[in-house]
Amino acid sequence: GLNPKRHHLLSVAAIHINGNIIDTGNGMHLVCRPPVMPDRDTIVIHGLRTADVENGMSYDEMLELLLPFIDNRPIVGFCPKIDTGFLNPLVKRYMGTTLPNDVIDVRHLYSRRMSGQTQGLSGQSQHLTSILAHYDIPELGTHDAYNDAIMTAMAFLHVR
């Protein structure tokens, strides 16, 4: 889901971008065990079944791996307020504060880049798939945390 007050984090993925290199060899994809198991609608979207998340790691175990991986690097995302909306309450409970990292929104970078070329972007152009198509970036399949991280990283390299 998209509402951190009603929905629960199921998986997290992160990869490093070093210069112009997306370091997928050292990427991270973690499946979490939420307090409430996913319903049928969620399973259809993300492909994570109840059995997948039942065997996932706790949020604290996930943060033990994710936070050192992120370290003090900027967080690049597509609509990252949604991601940080899920992560920050968990991080605050875990270490007493929210993520201090700078956050970069690929959607905003793209809008700024394109504003001189159009009279205004349609709502459709705000979708990741539209940005990918604009730069001829292959769509790897959405709603999978790792694929989303790779596609967002590729889009970032084009719009930064």
* Whole-number Å distance between alpha carbons of 57 and 130: 33
- The answer to whether residue 1 sits within a structural domain is no
- List, in sequence order, the alpha helices (H) in 47-144: 50-54, 59-70, 80-95, 106-114, 128-134
Element (H, E) at 105: strand 103-105
Pairwise CA distance, residues 29 & 82, whole Å: 18
* 44 belongs to a structural domain: yes
pLDDT digits (tens, 9 = 90+) for 29-61: 999 999 988 877 777 777 888 888 999 999 999
| 2 lies in some domain | no
> Residue 125: which domain range?
11-159
Residue 124 scores a pLDDT above 50: no
Residue 6 counted as domain residue: no
Q: Which residue has the higher pLDDT, 1 or 39?
A: 39
With CA atoms as reference, report the closest residue to 146 among 31, 20, 18.
Answer: 31
Of residues 12, 144, 152, 21, the one with CA closest to residue 70: 12
Give yes or no for residue 91 having a pLDDT over 60.
yes
In a domain, 89, yes or no: yes
Number of domains in the chain: 1
Q: Determine, yes or no, domain membership for 25.
A: yes
Q: Give a yes or no: residue 127 inside a domain.
A: yes
Mean pLDDT of the chain: 90
Residue 3 lies inside a defined structural domain of this protein = no
User: If DSSP codes are grouped into helix, strand and coil, which group holds residue 144?
Assistant: coil
Q: What is the pTM of this model?
A: 0.88
Burial of 109 (0-12, 13-18, 19+ CB in 10 A): middle
Residue with tokens 């970078």: 109
Task: Quickly state the pLDDT bin for 127 (edges 50, 70, 90).
Answer: confident
pLDDT confidence band for 116 (50 / 70 / 90):
low
In one-letter notation, the amino acid at residue 22 is: I
How many other CB atoms are there within 10 angstroms of residue 28's CB atom?
17
151: domain CATH number is 3.30.420.10
Q: What is the pLDDT of residue 45?
A: 77
